[in-house]
Structures are given as structure tokens and as C-alpha cells.
A and B are shown apart, each in its own frame.
Chain A
């Protein structure tokens, strides 16, 4: 149980365009999901916490107008990288934990490798 699906697994886009990444909890509900970014050979950096039905909470230094998060249902959160630039190229990964199940660990999606050319 506790499977998180993330799409696409990789995407190449032109500079200035926007890219949407989806994160779905397949067999559980998650009122909260988390978005991370990982640069090569670096750790996972928390970008924002996605909250179902309300605004996302962004970590310091993360531009909320550039990284739009929508969490419209208990099983889906989306991250849109707007006006992407080459420096946004990275591995984006989401995670979630079943709502109300504190004994469960966090499960990660398979990640999305974004390349902006």
C-alpha cells in the first residue's frame, strides 16, 4: 500500500514555457503532499507543502509565482514550473503519507527529470 505515482518521468521543454508535473496517491488519501527538488549529487530540498483545498506553504527562497502548486483533491497535487529557464533543470519529486496514519512512512513518487533548453 501507500503508492505514489508521478508523471511525467522526464520532460524536455524550451526556455520560457511552462511544465506541469502530477503527483497522485493511488491507494490512499493525502491532505498534504510535499514537493522536493534535487540537483545532481545533492540532497532533496523541500520546496513546498501542498495542502488540499488551500494554499501551498513555500519554503524560504522558493518563488511561489514561479512554482505553482494546486492540490484540488485528496489524491492529486500538481506542480507547474512557469516560464522555465535552464537553471530550473532538476529532478523534481513529490512525497505523501496517508492522512491520519502517523505510523506510515512517507512514500515518494518516481520523480520527474526536467531539462530546460
Chain B
């Protein structure tokens, strides 16, 4: 399957600071890159996604950038708040077949009040 690497595995920031999480993928045909937020024991929630024909997308305090040439994409959270604390997963899909979602290893974000 698709190989999606995610860094860092843990990230602590002070409230109000920015957080950046980076992912790389191996399949150059991948064309859809969502980011999910998962709180303990709950389902992953889609927070933002980007498609391969777009380089950047922003939704309030959250933004995602995509570099198709380098095969990496990043999540940016600005003005972090304690409720942003969770595990964040990036994901990517194969272009062909069922477009399965393959997940990165996750980043545990802690926002310190």
C-alpha cells in the first residue's frame, strides 16, 4: 500500500503559538490528502483536505500546503488553543482502485495553557 510518513510523533506548544505537522508520501499518483483529528476513544474527524491540483488551502486557523514535486504536505495550526490537543493523522490515497486511505503514524499535539 501507500507509504505515508508523518513527523513529529509528539508536539507540545504553548497556547497561542503555531503548530506544524509534516507528512511525506511515496506514490506520485496520490491525489487526495486529508487531515484527521482524533480524540481519545473517538472516531477520526476530518478537519481539512487538499487535492493534488491545489497547492494550499486554508480554513480559519487551519491550513494545509502541498508540494507534489517533493511529495510532501503539511498541516499548520495557528493561534493554538487547549482544545486543539489531540492526535492528528495525515492520509493519502492511491489514484487507482478504490482510492483507499492510508494513514500516517499520527502526531500527538499538546497545547499547554
Contacts known (A43-B89, A43-B106, A46-B1); A34 close to B42, Cβ less than 8 A? no
How many CB-defined contacts (below 8 Å) exist between A and B? Answer: 50
Docked Cα-Cα span, A23 to B24, in Å, equals: 30
Cα distance, A64 to B8, chains bound together (Å): 34
The smallest beta-carbon distance between A92 and chain B, in angstroms, is: 11
Total interface residues on A, using CB and 8 Å?
Answer: 25
A98 interface residue, CB < 8 Å from B? no
Question: Dominant SS at the A interface?
Answer: strand
Q: With an 8 A cutoff between CB atoms, is B86 at the interface?
A: no
Interface positions, chain A 61-93, Cβ under 8 Å from B, are: 91, 93
Partner of A93, one of B1, B43, B97, B106: B43
- Most chain A CB within 10 A, of B41, B43, B46, is at B43
